[in-house]
Structure 1
Amino acid sequence: MLGFTERKRTLVDFKELSAYAAAFTSSENELLRQMEQKAADIYIPIMQPSAMAFLQQIIRWTGARKILELGTAIGYSSIRMALAAGKEAKIITVERDQAMIEEAANNIKMLNLQSVIHIVEGDATEDLQEVQDSAPYDLILIDAAKAQYEHLFQKCTDVLAEKGIIVTDNVFFHGLVCNIEGVKKKQLNRLVKKVDEYNHFLAEQKDFDTIFLTVGDGMAVSTKKEYTACGGNC
Protein backbone atom coordinates (compact mmCIF):
# COMPACT_ATOMS: atom_id res chain seq x y z
CA MET A 1 0.00 0.00 0.00
CA LEU A 2 1.28 3.47 -0.91
CA GLY A 3 2.17 5.77 1.96
CA PHE A 4 1.06 9.40 2.12
CA THR A 5 4.25 10.71 0.46
CA GLU A 6 4.03 8.21 -2.39
CA ARG A 7 0.32 8.92 -2.93
CA LYS A 8 1.04 12.64 -3.06
CA ARG A 9 3.71 12.09 -5.71
CA THR A 10 1.27 10.09 -7.86
CA LEU A 11 -1.32 12.90 -8.03
CA VAL A 12 -1.84 13.99 -11.63
CA ASP A 13 -3.19 17.28 -12.92
CA PHE A 14 -6.89 16.94 -13.81
CA LYS A 15 -6.39 18.37 -17.32
CA GLU A 16 -3.57 15.92 -17.95
CA LEU A 17 -5.71 13.02 -16.80
CA SER A 18 -8.63 14.21 -18.92
CA ALA A 19 -6.38 14.37 -21.95
CA TYR A 20 -5.20 10.83 -21.23
CA ALA A 21 -8.80 9.58 -21.07
CA ALA A 22 -9.77 11.49 -24.22
CA ALA A 23 -6.99 9.75 -26.13
CA PHE A 24 -8.95 6.50 -25.85
CA THR A 25 -12.07 7.98 -27.45
CA SER A 26 -12.52 8.34 -31.18
CA SER A 27 -15.17 9.96 -33.34
CA GLU A 28 -17.27 7.87 -35.69
CA ASN A 29 -16.36 9.67 -38.91
CA GLU A 30 -14.15 12.29 -40.53
CA LEU A 31 -16.77 15.04 -40.40
CA LEU A 32 -16.97 14.77 -36.60
CA ARG A 33 -13.17 14.90 -36.37
CA GLN A 34 -13.20 18.05 -38.51
CA MET A 35 -15.88 19.57 -36.26
CA GLU A 36 -13.77 18.84 -33.19
CA GLN A 37 -10.74 20.48 -34.78
CA LYS A 38 -12.70 23.54 -35.86
CA ALA A 39 -14.19 23.89 -32.39
CA ALA A 40 -10.71 23.76 -30.86
CA ASP A 41 -9.25 26.24 -33.37
CA ILE A 42 -11.86 28.99 -33.03
CA TYR A 43 -13.39 28.07 -29.67
CA ILE A 44 -16.84 26.81 -30.57
CA PRO A 45 -18.41 25.40 -27.37
CA ILE A 46 -18.94 21.69 -28.00
CA MET A 47 -18.86 18.82 -25.52
CA GLN A 48 -15.43 17.38 -24.89
CA PRO A 49 -14.95 13.99 -26.61
CA SER A 50 -14.64 12.00 -23.35
CA ALA A 51 -17.88 13.50 -21.99
CA MET A 52 -19.58 12.93 -25.32
CA ALA A 53 -18.50 9.29 -25.37
CA PHE A 54 -19.95 8.79 -21.89
CA LEU A 55 -23.21 10.43 -22.92
CA GLN A 56 -23.41 8.03 -25.86
CA GLN A 57 -23.00 5.15 -23.41
CA ILE A 58 -25.86 6.48 -21.30
CA ILE A 59 -28.04 6.52 -24.41
CA ARG A 60 -27.08 2.93 -25.24
CA TRP A 61 -27.58 1.71 -21.66
CA THR A 62 -31.00 3.32 -21.26
CA GLY A 63 -32.26 2.87 -24.80
CA ALA A 64 -33.22 6.56 -24.95
CA ARG A 65 -35.01 7.33 -28.20
CA LYS A 66 -36.65 10.71 -27.60
CA ILE A 67 -34.00 13.27 -26.77
CA LEU A 68 -34.06 17.02 -26.17
CA GLU A 69 -30.89 19.10 -26.46
CA LEU A 70 -30.70 22.70 -25.26
CA GLY A 71 -27.84 24.31 -27.15
CA THR A 72 -27.15 23.00 -30.66
CA ALA A 73 -24.03 24.98 -31.61
CA ILE A 74 -22.70 23.33 -34.79
CA GLY A 75 -24.62 20.09 -34.28
CA TYR A 76 -21.78 18.01 -32.84
CA SER A 77 -23.60 16.63 -29.80
CA SER A 78 -26.89 16.01 -31.59
CA ILE A 79 -25.09 14.10 -34.34
CA ARG A 80 -23.21 11.88 -31.92
CA MET A 81 -26.34 11.29 -29.86
CA ALA A 82 -28.17 10.30 -33.05
CA LEU A 83 -25.43 7.83 -33.94
CA ALA A 84 -25.77 6.24 -30.50
CA ALA A 85 -29.58 6.24 -30.44
CA GLY A 86 -30.13 4.93 -33.97
CA LYS A 87 -32.26 5.81 -36.97
CA GLU A 88 -35.53 5.34 -35.07
CA ALA A 89 -34.64 8.05 -32.56
CA LYS A 90 -36.03 11.56 -32.51
CA ILE A 91 -33.79 14.39 -31.36
CA ILE A 92 -35.10 17.92 -30.86
CA THR A 93 -32.28 20.44 -30.50
CA VAL A 94 -32.78 24.12 -29.67
CA GLU A 95 -30.56 26.98 -30.83
CA ARG A 96 -31.10 30.73 -31.19
CA ASP A 97 -27.95 31.72 -33.12
CA GLN A 98 -28.81 31.78 -36.83
CA ALA A 99 -25.24 31.21 -38.01
CA MET A 100 -24.93 28.17 -35.74
CA ILE A 101 -28.27 26.83 -36.97
CA GLU A 102 -27.19 27.05 -40.59
CA GLU A 103 -23.87 25.31 -39.93
CA ALA A 104 -25.52 22.62 -37.79
CA ALA A 105 -28.17 21.98 -40.44
CA ASN A 106 -25.45 21.56 -43.07
CA ASN A 107 -23.47 19.13 -40.89
CA ILE A 108 -26.61 17.10 -40.13
CA LYS A 109 -27.47 16.96 -43.83
CA MET A 110 -23.96 15.79 -44.75
CA LEU A 111 -24.52 12.71 -42.58
CA ASN A 112 -28.10 12.21 -43.80
CA LEU A 113 -29.57 12.56 -40.31
CA GLN A 114 -32.35 15.03 -41.13
CA SER A 115 -34.99 12.41 -40.33
CA VAL A 116 -33.56 11.96 -36.82
CA ILE A 117 -32.48 15.48 -35.79
CA HIS A 118 -34.82 18.46 -35.88
CA ILE A 119 -33.48 21.94 -35.08
CA VAL A 120 -35.86 24.32 -33.32
CA GLU A 121 -34.92 27.97 -33.67
CA GLY A 122 -35.55 29.87 -30.46
CA ASP A 123 -34.50 30.65 -26.92
CA ALA A 124 -34.33 27.54 -24.76
CA THR A 125 -35.47 29.51 -21.72
CA GLU A 126 -38.82 30.23 -23.38
CA ASP A 127 -41.84 27.99 -23.96
CA LEU A 128 -41.37 26.62 -27.48
CA GLN A 129 -44.33 24.82 -29.02
CA GLU A 130 -42.21 22.39 -31.04
CA VAL A 131 -40.44 21.31 -27.85
CA GLN A 132 -43.75 20.78 -26.07
CA ASP A 133 -45.23 18.84 -28.98
CA SER A 134 -42.53 16.15 -28.88
CA ALA A 135 -42.57 15.65 -25.09
CA PRO A 136 -42.00 13.64 -22.98
CA TYR A 137 -38.28 13.00 -23.48
CA ASP A 138 -36.23 10.02 -22.32
CA LEU A 139 -33.10 12.14 -22.04
CA ILE A 140 -32.48 15.88 -21.94
CA LEU A 141 -29.07 17.49 -22.43
CA ILE A 142 -28.59 20.97 -20.95
CA ASP A 143 -25.69 22.64 -22.71
CA ALA A 144 -26.91 26.20 -23.25
CA ALA A 145 -26.43 29.47 -21.33
CA LYS A 146 -24.79 28.54 -18.03
CA ALA A 147 -26.31 31.48 -16.17
CA GLN A 148 -29.72 30.00 -17.00
CA TYR A 149 -29.00 26.40 -15.97
CA GLU A 150 -31.32 26.40 -12.96
CA HIS A 151 -34.19 27.89 -14.95
CA LEU A 152 -33.58 25.41 -17.77
CA PHE A 153 -33.56 22.45 -15.39
CA GLN A 154 -36.88 23.49 -13.90
CA LYS A 155 -38.39 23.76 -17.37
CA CYS A 156 -36.98 20.36 -18.31
CA THR A 157 -38.77 18.63 -15.45
CA ASP A 158 -42.09 19.46 -17.13
CA VAL A 159 -41.20 17.63 -20.37
CA LEU A 160 -39.17 14.72 -18.93
CA ALA A 161 -40.48 11.16 -19.14
CA GLU A 162 -41.27 9.28 -15.92
CA LYS A 163 -37.91 7.49 -15.87
CA GLY A 164 -36.07 10.18 -17.79
CA ILE A 165 -32.56 11.54 -17.30
CA ILE A 166 -31.30 15.12 -17.36
CA VAL A 167 -27.63 15.54 -18.22
CA THR A 168 -25.90 18.89 -17.64
CA ASP A 169 -22.53 19.64 -19.20
CA ASN A 170 -19.78 22.01 -17.98
CA VAL A 171 -20.73 21.83 -14.30
CA PHE A 172 -17.09 22.22 -13.21
CA PHE A 173 -16.49 25.17 -15.57
CA HIS A 174 -12.80 24.51 -16.27
CA GLY A 175 -12.26 23.75 -12.58
CA LEU A 176 -13.05 27.33 -11.57
CA VAL A 177 -15.87 26.21 -9.25
CA CYS A 178 -13.15 24.98 -6.89
CA ASN A 179 -11.53 28.42 -6.66
CA ILE A 180 -14.27 31.01 -7.10
CA GLU A 181 -12.47 33.65 -5.04
CA GLY A 182 -9.47 33.32 -7.32
CA VAL A 183 -11.50 34.43 -10.34
CA LYS A 184 -10.83 38.17 -10.42
CA LYS A 185 -12.79 39.24 -13.50
CA LYS A 186 -16.21 40.30 -12.20
CA GLN A 187 -18.32 38.97 -15.06
CA LEU A 188 -16.53 35.61 -15.06
CA ASN A 189 -16.74 35.43 -11.28
CA ARG A 190 -20.52 35.93 -11.40
CA LEU A 191 -20.84 33.19 -14.00
CA VAL A 192 -18.72 30.74 -12.00
CA LYS A 193 -20.84 31.48 -8.92
CA LYS A 194 -23.97 30.75 -10.98
CA VAL A 195 -22.60 27.35 -11.98
CA ASP A 196 -21.62 26.60 -8.37
CA GLU A 197 -25.09 27.62 -7.17
CA TYR A 198 -26.62 25.38 -9.82
CA ASN A 199 -24.61 22.41 -8.60
CA HIS A 200 -25.85 22.97 -5.06
CA PHE A 201 -29.37 23.37 -6.43
CA LEU A 202 -29.10 19.96 -8.15
CA ALA A 203 -27.85 18.30 -4.98
CA GLU A 204 -30.86 19.63 -3.07
CA GLN A 205 -33.55 18.41 -5.49
CA LYS A 206 -35.78 16.01 -3.55
CA ASP A 207 -37.27 14.45 -6.67
CA PHE A 208 -33.94 13.69 -8.35
CA ASP A 209 -30.78 11.77 -7.62
CA THR A 210 -27.76 13.54 -9.12
CA ILE A 211 -24.22 12.29 -9.56
CA PHE A 212 -21.35 14.59 -10.56
CA LEU A 213 -18.76 13.07 -12.86
CA THR A 214 -15.23 14.24 -13.62
CA VAL A 215 -15.46 13.62 -17.35
CA GLY A 216 -14.86 16.38 -19.85
CA ASP A 217 -15.57 19.70 -18.18
CA GLY A 218 -17.72 18.04 -15.53
CA MET A 219 -21.07 16.37 -16.07
CA ALA A 220 -24.10 16.06 -13.82
CA VAL A 221 -26.49 13.16 -14.40
CA SER A 222 -29.88 13.61 -12.72
CA THR A 223 -32.44 10.81 -12.60
CA LYS A 224 -35.97 10.95 -11.25
CA LYS A 225 -36.44 9.16 -7.95
CA GLU A 226 -38.82 6.22 -7.92
CA TYR A 227 -41.32 6.63 -5.13
CA THR A 228 -43.05 3.69 -3.49
CA ALA A 229 -46.54 3.59 -2.03
CA CYS A 230 -45.10 4.97 1.22
CA GLY A 231 -43.76 8.04 -0.54
CA GLY A 232 -40.18 6.94 -0.86
CA ASN A 233 -39.66 6.91 2.93
CA CYS A 234 -39.83 3.17 3.50
Structure 2
Amino acid sequence: MTDFDKLSEYAAAFVKPENSMLRQMEKKAKQIYIPIMHPSAIAFLQQLIKWKKARRILELGTAIGYSAIRMCLAAGQDAEIITIEREKEMIREAERNIKEQGLTAWIHIVEGDATEDLPAVRDAVPFDLILIDAAKAQYEKLFLKYARYLAPAGIIVTDNVFFHGLVCDIDGVKKKPLHRLVGKVDSYNRFLAERSEFDTIFLTVGDGLAVSTKK
Protein backbone atom coordinates (compact mmCIF):
# COMPACT_ATOMS: atom_id res chain seq x y z
CA MET A 1 0.00 0.00 0.00
CA THR A 2 1.28 3.48 -0.84
CA ASP A 3 2.33 5.53 2.20
CA PHE A 4 0.04 8.59 2.34
CA ASP A 5 2.66 10.86 3.97
CA LYS A 6 5.27 9.96 1.37
CA LEU A 7 2.82 10.58 -1.44
CA SER A 8 1.90 13.96 0.05
CA GLU A 9 5.54 14.94 0.25
CA TYR A 10 6.07 13.80 -3.34
CA ALA A 11 3.21 16.07 -4.47
CA ALA A 12 4.49 18.95 -2.33
CA ALA A 13 7.88 18.80 -4.06
CA PHE A 14 6.27 20.12 -7.24
CA VAL A 15 4.69 23.12 -5.51
CA LYS A 16 6.71 26.31 -5.64
CA PRO A 17 5.69 29.36 -3.57
CA GLU A 18 5.55 32.71 -5.33
CA ASN A 19 8.63 34.24 -3.72
CA SER A 20 11.58 33.63 -1.42
CA MET A 21 9.86 35.11 1.63
CA LEU A 22 7.09 32.51 1.43
CA ARG A 23 9.75 29.80 1.19
CA GLN A 24 11.33 31.18 4.36
CA MET A 25 7.94 31.19 6.08
CA GLU A 26 7.52 27.51 5.19
CA LYS A 27 10.95 26.68 6.61
CA LYS A 28 10.35 28.62 9.81
CA ALA A 29 6.94 27.02 10.33
CA LYS A 30 8.45 23.55 9.94
CA GLN A 31 11.34 24.29 12.29
CA ILE A 32 9.27 25.62 15.20
CA TYR A 33 6.04 23.70 14.53
CA ILE A 34 3.81 26.59 13.50
CA PRO A 35 0.66 25.16 11.89
CA ILE A 36 0.41 26.25 8.26
CA MET A 37 -1.30 24.56 5.33
CA HIS A 38 0.54 21.79 3.52
CA PRO A 39 2.09 23.08 0.26
CA SER A 40 -0.06 20.88 -1.97
CA ALA A 41 -3.21 21.85 -0.04
CA ILE A 42 -2.56 25.58 -0.36
CA ALA A 43 -1.73 25.12 -4.04
CA PHE A 44 -5.09 23.43 -4.59
CA LEU A 45 -6.83 26.18 -2.62
CA GLN A 46 -5.19 28.80 -4.83
CA GLN A 47 -6.47 27.01 -7.93
CA LEU A 48 -9.95 26.79 -6.38
CA ILE A 49 -9.93 30.54 -5.72
CA LYS A 50 -9.01 31.16 -9.35
CA TRP A 51 -11.64 28.74 -10.70
CA LYS A 52 -14.29 30.22 -8.42
CA LYS A 53 -13.08 33.79 -9.00
CA ALA A 54 -13.45 34.20 -5.24
CA ARG A 55 -12.73 37.76 -4.16
CA ARG A 56 -14.22 38.02 -0.67
CA ILE A 57 -12.58 35.41 1.52
CA LEU A 58 -12.80 34.63 5.23
CA GLU A 59 -10.12 32.62 7.03
CA LEU A 60 -10.57 31.14 10.49
CA GLY A 61 -7.07 30.84 11.92
CA THR A 62 -4.41 33.29 10.69
CA ALA A 63 -1.30 31.85 12.36
CA ILE A 64 1.65 33.67 10.73
CA GLY A 65 -0.36 34.84 7.73
CA TYR A 66 0.97 32.26 5.28
CA SER A 67 -2.31 31.03 3.83
CA ALA A 68 -3.88 34.51 3.86
CA ILE A 69 -0.97 35.77 1.76
CA ARG A 70 -1.16 32.86 -0.68
CA MET A 71 -4.94 33.23 -1.02
CA CYS A 72 -4.60 36.96 -1.63
CA LEU A 73 -2.00 36.40 -4.33
CA ALA A 74 -4.34 33.95 -6.04
CA ALA A 75 -7.41 36.19 -5.75
CA GLY A 76 -5.76 39.26 -7.24
CA GLN A 77 -5.82 43.00 -6.68
CA ASP A 78 -9.58 43.32 -6.08
CA ALA A 79 -9.54 40.73 -3.29
CA GLU A 80 -10.50 41.25 0.34
CA ILE A 81 -9.27 38.71 2.87
CA ILE A 82 -10.63 38.79 6.41
CA THR A 83 -8.68 36.51 8.73
CA ILE A 84 -9.37 35.79 12.41
CA GLU A 85 -6.71 35.09 15.03
CA ARG A 86 -6.80 35.20 18.83
CA GLU A 87 -3.10 34.77 19.66
CA LYS A 88 -1.43 38.17 19.92
CA GLU A 89 2.04 36.83 19.12
CA MET A 90 0.74 35.21 15.95
CA ILE A 91 -1.04 38.43 14.98
CA ARG A 92 2.17 40.46 15.33
CA GLU A 93 4.08 37.95 13.20
CA ALA A 94 1.31 37.83 10.59
CA GLU A 95 1.16 41.62 10.41
CA ARG A 96 4.90 41.79 9.75
CA ASN A 97 4.70 39.16 7.03
CA ILE A 98 1.67 40.72 5.34
CA LYS A 99 3.31 44.16 5.41
CA GLU A 100 6.53 42.79 3.92
CA GLN A 101 4.50 41.30 1.07
CA GLY A 102 2.83 44.68 0.48
CA LEU A 103 -0.65 43.26 1.06
CA THR A 104 -1.94 45.26 4.03
CA ALA A 105 -4.59 46.92 1.85
CA TRP A 106 -6.14 43.55 0.99
CA ILE A 107 -5.66 41.40 4.10
CA HIS A 108 -7.35 42.45 7.34
CA ILE A 109 -6.70 40.62 10.61
CA VAL A 110 -9.53 40.51 13.12
CA GLU A 111 -8.33 39.80 16.65
CA GLY A 112 -10.66 37.51 18.54
CA ASP A 113 -12.05 34.02 19.02
CA ALA A 114 -13.72 32.70 15.88
CA THR A 115 -16.39 30.98 17.97
CA GLU A 116 -17.61 34.36 19.25
CA ASP A 117 -19.58 37.09 17.50
CA LEU A 118 -17.14 39.47 15.82
CA PRO A 119 -18.77 42.59 14.35
CA ALA A 120 -15.87 43.26 11.97
CA VAL A 121 -16.52 39.88 10.36
CA ARG A 122 -20.29 40.14 10.37
CA ASP A 123 -20.11 43.54 8.67
CA ALA A 124 -18.03 42.10 5.80
CA VAL A 125 -20.48 39.40 4.66
CA PRO A 126 -21.15 37.69 2.31
CA PHE A 127 -18.03 35.67 1.50
CA ASP A 128 -17.30 33.72 -1.67
CA LEU A 129 -15.04 31.31 0.19
CA ILE A 130 -14.41 30.47 3.84
CA LEU A 131 -11.35 28.55 5.02
CA ILE A 132 -11.68 26.69 8.33
CA ASP A 133 -8.21 26.04 9.71
CA ALA A 134 -8.63 26.71 13.42
CA ALA A 135 -9.13 24.50 16.49
CA LYS A 136 -10.21 21.07 15.21
CA ALA A 137 -12.42 20.43 18.22
CA GLN A 138 -14.51 23.43 17.16
CA TYR A 139 -14.88 22.56 13.46
CA GLU A 140 -18.57 21.67 13.57
CA LYS A 141 -19.46 24.73 15.63
CA LEU A 142 -17.49 26.96 13.26
CA PHE A 143 -19.10 25.47 10.18
CA LEU A 144 -22.60 26.04 11.54
CA LYS A 145 -21.76 29.57 12.64
CA TYR A 146 -20.16 30.75 9.40
CA ALA A 147 -22.15 28.87 6.77
CA ARG A 148 -24.77 31.62 6.97
CA TYR A 149 -22.10 34.14 5.98
CA LEU A 150 -21.61 32.53 2.56
CA ALA A 151 -22.69 34.06 -0.72
CA PRO A 152 -24.98 31.91 -2.92
CA ALA A 153 -22.98 28.93 -4.24
CA GLY A 154 -20.19 29.88 -1.83
CA ILE A 155 -17.59 27.34 -0.70
CA ILE A 156 -16.29 26.28 2.69
CA VAL A 157 -12.89 24.58 2.68
CA THR A 158 -11.81 22.70 5.81
CA ASP A 159 -8.17 21.72 6.29
CA ASN A 160 -6.72 18.71 8.18
CA VAL A 161 -9.84 16.54 7.90
CA PHE A 162 -7.75 13.34 7.75
CA PHE A 163 -5.61 14.31 10.77
CA HIS A 164 -2.44 12.55 9.60
CA GLY A 165 -4.47 9.49 8.64
CA LEU A 166 -5.58 8.85 12.22
CA VAL A 167 -9.28 9.12 11.31
CA CYS A 168 -8.88 5.73 9.60
CA ASP A 169 -7.71 4.06 12.80
CA ILE A 170 -9.31 5.84 15.74
CA ASP A 171 -9.20 2.74 17.93
CA GLY A 172 -5.45 2.59 17.41
CA VAL A 173 -4.97 6.00 19.03
CA LYS A 174 -4.21 5.16 22.66
CA LYS A 175 -3.66 8.60 24.20
CA LYS A 176 -7.05 9.73 25.48
CA PRO A 177 -6.85 13.47 24.60
CA LEU A 178 -5.67 12.65 21.08
CA HIS A 179 -8.28 9.90 20.74
CA ARG A 180 -11.03 12.38 21.63
CA LEU A 181 -9.71 14.94 19.15
CA VAL A 182 -9.44 12.42 16.31
CA GLY A 183 -12.96 11.29 17.13
CA LYS A 184 -14.20 14.88 16.82
CA VAL A 185 -12.57 15.25 13.40
CA ASP A 186 -14.15 11.99 12.27
CA SER A 187 -17.54 13.13 13.57
CA TYR A 188 -17.11 16.42 11.74
CA ASN A 189 -16.45 14.62 8.47
CA ARG A 190 -19.62 12.58 8.94
CA PHE A 191 -21.49 15.77 9.81
CA LEU A 192 -20.33 17.35 6.54
CA ALA A 193 -21.40 14.32 4.53
CA GLU A 194 -24.92 14.60 5.96
CA ARG A 195 -25.46 18.32 5.24
CA SER A 196 -28.32 18.42 2.73
CA GLU A 197 -27.70 22.09 1.95
CA PHE A 198 -24.09 21.44 0.87
CA ASP A 199 -22.31 19.17 -1.56
CA THR A 200 -19.04 18.03 0.06
CA ILE A 201 -16.10 16.18 -1.41
CA PHE A 202 -13.08 14.93 0.54
CA LEU A 203 -9.69 15.23 -1.12
CA THR A 204 -6.48 13.38 -0.27
CA VAL A 205 -4.48 16.59 -0.64
CA GLY A 206 -2.04 17.62 2.08
CA ASP A 207 -3.56 16.46 5.36
CA GLY A 208 -6.99 16.13 3.78
CA LEU A 209 -9.32 18.83 2.53
CA ALA A 210 -13.09 18.95 2.65
CA VAL A 211 -14.65 21.19 -0.01
CA SER A 212 -18.30 22.02 0.75
CA THR A 213 -20.28 23.92 -1.90
CA LYS A 214 -23.49 25.64 -0.90
CA LYS A 215 -26.40 24.44 -3.04
TM-score normalised to the size of structure 1?
0.91
Number of residue pairs the alignment of both structures matches: 215
| Residues 1:56 and 2:42 are matched in the alignment | no
| Residues 1:96 and 2:57 are matched in the alignment | no
Cross-structure match for 2:161: 171
| Residues 1:107 and 2:97 are matched in the alignment | yes
| Residues 1:25 and 2:15 are matched in the alignment | yes
Give the gaps of 5 or more residues in structure 1: 1-10, 226-234
Cα drift, residue 185 of structure 1:
0.6
Please give the secondary structure, in 2, of the residue aligned with 1:83.
helix
- Alpha-carbon distance in structure 1 between the residues aligned to 2:115 and 2:132: 11
Cross-structure match for 2:134: 144
- Alpha-carbon distance in structure 2 between the residues aligned to 1:87 and 1:101: 23
Mean Cα deviation higher: 11-20 or 29-38:
11-20
- Alpha-carbon distance in structure 1 between the residues aligned to 2:108 and 2:27: 24
- Alpha-carbon distance in structure 1 between the residues aligned to 2:213 and 2:11: 25
- Alpha-carbon distance in structure 2 between the residues aligned to 1:122 and 1:19: 33
Cross-structure match for 1:231: none
2:206 counterpart (196, 216, 222): 216
Amino acid at match of 1:15: D
Cross-structure match for 2:172: 182
Cα drift, residue 224 of structure 1:
1.0
Cross-structure match for 1:85: 75
RMSD across aligned C-alpha pairs, in angstroms? 0.5
- Alpha-carbon distance in structure 2 between the residues aligned to 1:158 and 1:213: 24
2:66 counterpart (66, 76, 88): 76
- Alpha-carbon distance in structure 2 between the residues aligned to 1:123 and 1:16: 35
Amino acid at match of 2:2: V
TM-score normalised to the size of structure 2?
0.99
Please give the secondary structure, in 1, of the residue aligned with 2:16.
coil
Amino acid at match of 2:116: E
Cα drift, residue 14 of structure 1:
0.9
Cross-structure match for 1:116: 106
- Where relative contact order (Cα < 8 A, 6+ residues apart) is larger, the structure is 2
Amino acid at match of 1:105: E
Cα drift, residue 142 of structure 1:
0.2
Cα drift, residue 16 of structure 1:
1.0
Percent identity of paired positions between Structure 1 and Structure 2 = 71
- Which of structure 1's runs of 4+ aligned residues deviate more than 3 A? none
Amino acid at match of 1:152: L
Cα drift, residue 163 of structure 1:
1.2
Cross-structure match for 2:194: 204
| Residues 1:157 and 2:147 are matched in the alignment | yes
Amino acid at match of 2:159: D
| Residues 1:44 and 2:34 are matched in the alignment | yes
